[in-house]
Structure 1
């Protein structure tokens, strides 16, 4: 019975938007959620495709269908907000599912933006650890971007930032910035890193990464205006709240200070330029007139008065 229902739903899910609305109204979503929640005990199905046949769990098939239905915001909020174990089921799939199922689970979690704050605040450290693992594994570009879009929705709350940091998010984000040449991925990663550096634990992990300061500085002017603004914000958080003599020297040596001087010369955004000026003035006694700053940029160094 389940097999026939899933086959019918699959054929309808990939068709018109009208079909998707009918599926919501007919209770198909509740059926799919039920199958997903029974993931561990779900039946095995033989699925035919262009490449041949493969055997997968009914829970994996239900998850794929649910993703392709493209549910309405109202329906998504109902699923996520009813505290019916659906989030826990997605977590289970993130831990045990195939790469494709983990990708679908991550993309469905993007629907958390419609969830009530109480459900977002109560997410477990394990949940964040699995989202970070999705980023580390780089299952596919869709899943990576879905995870990067999801995290800012969850990191508005300080507790969630700490959970994400403990799950290894800072290290993975910096590594992602090192490896990615995709503009949108870099922008999203810098948004997440900016939020993580909003807590002391996040800043400490950032500074523990040997390439952290250099990589964030490198992204200024090389990605987009939005990325440059976020990069300068991250550097500002470090310079205001977590600076040490070692950090100040590293910022000179890896070119952060020179890049901030360049921001004063080239950036048209008054907000970003002002933040760069504040950073340079804050540590002028250490940085000003230092040999590491090229002479053509030193003229841009702001007065400390």
Structure 2
């Protein structure tokens, strides 16, 4: 049976190779169709090989294709079904040079010469670099220059290819970089720049970080440096610091080390959201603030008093899907606090924006908007202004909340959202005669459903 399977696979690949040999492709802007020689194509992808490697079976593949095959759980050669491992693949320099010569010869047809691939890093080489990194970081000021060189080399190799990044990640490079960051921060008194920003840049290449790395970075010394860089570092350093803080707070076990630094972390994150560096940093800050607010209602109160609610409402006005979902998630979490609800009820755009986002972004955004509106419309708790709650519900009626909630219940949603939508309808029904304004768009939706 195994022999028959191998023969069938070889026959299939042979047919594909013959089709590839006769298949003409259009290359460049000239519109000229040029047939790529069959032995230049990878047997898996049928594309021109850019980094040919040969298996012990004698079959040559493109490195990216065969490694993807092995990474998906296969442990055999696709053609012969003989056992195959990553370590068995050998670069085929001869066929690569022939392919490059062919590309040069057909340059006039728009064919670009494939670059000479870099040799992948091995686990042994990566381990040696990490050992040297640990030693130089431990020696502190005496070896800062060498530490910077090692960090730059790790960062360069990790970004050369996904294979290299995976190799570094598999041997715990994230933990090693986190330990180096902690050692350097302790030795240099938490500076906001220099070697620490270089280490952060390399750390970001290793995300997602594991819990041990997050705990190391969540120590008071490391966290102090991260906050300093997030507030006063260069643009790249600030973005990387925020992304690393997001990794820390994503692990619940790391929260125990944040107790004495929560206010500082909150201030740094709100500063990035209020004065954006780039979309990536803003989104990372929102994810971090979401985890912080969900972890402790006192943190949600602190975020509200830091002025985050008006900023989030303004972000939501013109945000794309990804930004809207994150901003709504943070807003819903902050509204769990009395200070958050008070701030939202006092903002003229808060209710209209929440109602607007109910059906215009995604299912997740709809659920978050309903939950946020439910928090705002609930019966006032001790110390809350009943008139403010009433004004909030009346405003929701005026911008079409009643019709949208009815439509949501007809279309269907999760049980938790359905319960909140039903409660909201009951709250709104008490004020229907005050100033309801019907949205024609919502009625068109209701007619379609019925």
User: How does the TM-score come out when normalised to structure 1?
Assistant: 0.81
Query: 1:206 Cα deviation (Å)?
Result: 1.0
CA displacement, residues 279-304 of structure 1 (integer Å, 9 cap, x when unaligned): 1213423215955235985xx9xxxx
Query: 1:73 Cα deviation (Å)?
Result: 1.0
Structure 1 residues 28 and 133, CA gap change in structure 2 (3 angstroms): closer
Structure 1 residues 237 and 192, CA gap change in structure 2 (3 angstroms): same
How many residues align structurally? 283
Question: Which ranges in structure 1 are unaligned for 5 or more consecutive residues?
Answer: 43-55, 301-305
Say yes or no: does 1:137 pair with 2:275: yes
**What are the within-5 Å matches in structure 2 for residues 57-96 of structure 1?**
57-70=194-207, 72-81=209-218, 83-96=219-232
Q: Larger radius of gyration, structure 1 or 2? A: 2
Say yes or no: does 1:8 pair with 2:8: no
Contact 1:107 1:146 (8 Å CA) reproduced: yes
Contact 2:242 2:269 (8 Å CA) reproduced: yes
- How many Å separate the matches in 2 of 1:148 and 1:138? 11
SS in 1 for 2:359: coil
- How many Å separate the matches in 2 of 1:275 and 1:2? 57
SS in 1 for 2:277: coil
Query: 1:254 Cα deviation (Å)?
Result: 2.7
Question: Which ranges in structure 2 are unaligned for 5 or more consecutive residues?
Answer: 1-142, 159-163, 381-385
Which one of 159, 176, 179 corresponds to residue 318 of structure 2? 179
CA displacement, residues 199-222 of structure 1 (integer Å, 9 cap, x when unaligned): 110001111222110111111111
Contact 2:332 2:371 (8 Å CA) reproduced: yes
Which one of 214, 239, 260 corresponds to residue 103 of structure 1? 239
Say yes or no: does 1:165 pair with 2:165: no
Say yes or no: does 1:192 pair with 2:330: yes
Partner of 2:131: none
SS in 2 for 1:150: helix
Query: 1:117 Cα deviation (Å)?
Result: 3.5
Which one of 421, 430, 442 corresponds to residue 285 of structure 1? 430
- How many Å separate the matches in 2 of 1:71 and 1:279? 39
Q: Which has the higher contact order (CA 8 A, sep 6+)?
A: 1
Structure 1 residues 285 and 3, CA gap change in structure 2 (3 angstroms): same
CA displacement, residues 37-60 of structure 1 (integer Å, 9 cap, x when unaligned): 537658xxxxxxxxxxxxx73332
Query: 1:31 Cα deviation (Å)?
Result: 2.7
SS in 1 for 2:378: helix
Query: 1:125 Cα deviation (Å)?
Result: 1.9
Structure 1 residues 32 and 76, CA gap change in structure 2 (3 angstroms): same
CA displacement, residues 8-60 of structure 1 (integer Å, 9 cap, x when unaligned): 22222342233355574995543333334537658xxxxxxxxxxxxx73332
Contact 1:180 1:186 (8 Å CA) reproduced: yes
